[in-house]
Chain A
C-alpha cells in the first residue's frame, strides 16, 4: 500500500532533483526547444512542495493535488503532461494487487494520459521515449513477482536507457520538431526530467 508519507517523500525528492537540475534542463531545452523546461518545472515543483500535506488523507488525494498544482503552475506543454501523469497515476492507485503491480499499473495509466494529451509515440524524441520503456519494464517485473523496490529500480534503468536513446533522434513533436535534422545530437529535456521522476520513485516509494 502506497502511504501518504511515501507519496510525499516522492514529491519532495523530485522537487529537490528539479531544483538541482533546473538550469541544466533549461539549457537542454535552449538547444532544441524554447529554453524554459527547467524553470517551468521548478516553478511547478516549488508549488507542489508548498501543498499542506496534512490536508490529504491518502497518497491518491495528495498525488491528485500535485497533478492539479502542476497543471495550474507549469504552463507550456509540461504542465498538462506532468499534471495528467500525476492525475492518472493517482486515479489508478485503488486497483487490487501487490504494491509492485499497483504502481506499475498506475505508471501505465499516467503514460496513457500523456499519450492522449500529447499524441506522441515512441521515437518522436519526447518524454514517451523514456516513460514507455520504464512502464513496460515495471509491468514485466511486477508480473514476475518482483518487489516494488526491484520493479522501480529496473524501471528507472529502462527510463535512463530510453532517455539516452533520444540523443540521436530527430524530433517529430513539440518545438524541437521545428529544427528537423538539427534536433539530433541533443538529449530530449522532457525524457530527461521524466527519467528523474522515475528515479525519484525508485528512491522513495519502495
Chain B
C-alpha cells in the first residue's frame, strides 16, 4: 500500500512539474490583444523603479489613483496598474528585468528609465517612438535638453529634471569673510574654476573640509552624474558624436587636465575621497556638490543643524568661460510591446502633465522639466530651486549619448576611483580609454 502511494505521489509530482515547465511558452503578456478587466476597461501596466513607500513612489501612487478616478479614464475606459520594482544602487536589477521582459515579450505598457539609457533602450527596441502620439503642445512645453530623443525620434518624457549645484553653508562662509563673494551668484555670473579654488583655499582650516564632491560615490552613477560637468566646462570631451569612439575624446589633453584638476583638489586638501556623506548636513563642511534631492533632506532632516542658512552655487566655469551643469533624470516611456498605444499615450500625457510634474517634484525636491510646471512653482529668484532651474536652462549639458552608456559610466567612475590612489592621471585615463574603446568595438563587430 505504502509503495503504491509513493509511486502515485511521485507520478503526480513529476507530471505537475512537467506541466509547469512545458506550460511556460506563453508568458503573462503573451498575445497581441490589450488586457481588459471584467468591466471592459483596458489595463495599462506601468513599471517604476522606486518603492511604493518612498516619497516618489507615493507620488506615483497618488497621480495614478487620480488618473483612475478621472473623467479621461472613464471616457476612454482605461485603468492603470503600477508595478513598483525598486532599483538598487549597486545592482542593476531593474535594468536587467527590462531586458528579460523584452526577451520574453512581457514588457509593461509604460516604464520609467534613466535618461542616459535612452539610446540603448531605443536601439534595442524597448522604447517606442512617441513623437506622433504625444500632442505637440505637450512636447513643446518640455525643455529641449530634457527630452529623450534618439535619431530624431522621441522615446520618452522626463518626470523631473535633476540639475545639481554646490550647496554652501552660509555661516561658515560668513565667518571666513567670504559670503559677499558668492551670495548673489547666479548661472549668468557664475564663478570660475580659479575662483572656486581660491575660495576652497581660504576655507581650509575654517571647517573640516572645504568641499565634498562625493568622490566616494564612484561605485554608482552618482559620481559620473555630478562630476562630468567639471570636465566639460574645462574643455574636456568624452565620446564621438555617434557614441562609438572614445580614443581621442576621453583621453584628450583637456579631459586629462580636467581630471588632473580634481586630483589636485584632493592633494590640496580642498576635497577628500574619505569625506562623510553627512558632513555638510551636520555643518562640518563648507560646500557639498549634490543634486536637487538634497533640498528636502536638508529642510526635513537637518533643519536643526543648518536652518535656512544655506544656499546653492552654480558649477564653476572653465578657463575659456565654458559653463556646464548636470542634467538628466528618470523619464516615462512607452514600450514597443504596448498593446493599447492610444490609451497608453493618454496615460503617458497624464503622468508627465503639469499637475503631475508639480506633484512629483514636490515629493522629490527636484525641479520640473516643463515650463508650465516651473510657472506653477514660481521659484523666487535667489532660492536654491531657482538657481537649479536657471542653471539647467542656461548651462545644462547632457551626459554623452551612446548605446554603450553603462560601459562609458564604468570607465568614468573607474578613472575617479583609480585617481584616489595614483597621481598618474594621464596613465589612468589612457588605460580606461583603451578598455572602453575595446568595449565600444564589441557593438560594431
Do A and B originate from a single complex?
no
* Chain B interface residues toward A at CB < 8 A: none
